[in-house]
Structure 1
Amino acid sequence: MAIVVVLEMPGMAQAQYELSAEKVSGRPGPVKSPADWPVPGLISHTSAPTDDGWLVVDVWESEEAFRQFGETLVPILRELGLADVQPRTYPVFNVVTR
């Protein structure tokens, strides 16, 4: 079952988000496609600045796919000083894309 993952990261700046994206994809520049992720299963990725940091909302094909991605993501967030990020997950009811 697909899931929505919400990551709220107080204190994260745009430069940190951009660096995390480069570390996730393993190359310079922004992430542009689900193929940029180190594991399969990403359906969509959205990020945005907030009043106090950064917000990421992903849709994954399954909780297992997200768990596999977490093995890459958690060390990156720790390296950036964001060790306390706790993802919230929800079952997907509907996904609409272009």
Structure 2
Amino acid sequence: MAVIVTVEIPGGTREVYERTTERITGADWWPAKGFLAHAAGPDGTGGWRVIDFWESEADFMAFVEKATPIFQEEGTPQIMPRVEEAVNVIVK
């Protein structure tokens, strides 16, 4: 079952997001198994929002395990994402 993963990062910045994303997408394990789509931007309250689509929650959790060292090194706070069932995912 596909899932929608929403991560709200209070105080998150574009600069930290871009550095982190560059490192993740440059990793030898990227693209991670089950990754479908990604979007991110300011949340309107001074933080940052990330929305991902994954083939399964297990695939997302395997990605988190690989990406956690990068998140930690870039100073991204440990955040509990919201994971919800996706009824449909359409990608171009």
TM-score (normalizing by structure 1): 0.80
Alignment partner, residue 68 of structure 2: 74
Q: Which runs of 5+ in 1 are unaligned?
A: 28-35
**Does residue 46 of structure 1 match 2:34?**
no
Alignment partner, residue 12 of structure 1: 12
What displacement does 1:97 show? 3.1
CA contact (8 A) 1:74 1:83 kept: no
CA contact (8 A) 2:9 2:77 kept: no
Higher relative contact order (CA 8 A, sep 6+): 2
CA contact (8 A) 1:44 1:60 kept: yes
TM-score (normalizing by structure 2): 0.85
The amino acid of 1:41's aligned partner reads G
CA distance in 2, matches of 1:86, 1:95: 22
Instruction: Tell me the SS of whatever aligns to 2:72.
Output: helix
CA contact (8 A) 1:6 1:89 kept: yes
The counterpart of 1:95, out of the listed 70, 89, 92, is 89
Identity of aligned residues (%): 38
What displacement does 1:84 show? 2.3
Instruction: Tell me the SS of whatever aligns to 2:15.
Output: helix
What displacement does 1:7 show? 0.6
* Runs of 4+ off more than 3 Å: none
Instruction: Tell me the SS of whatever aligns to 1:22.
Output: helix
CA distance in 2, matches of 1:84, 1:65: 19
Alignment partner, residue 37 of structure 1: 30
CA contact (8 A) 1:24 1:72 kept: no
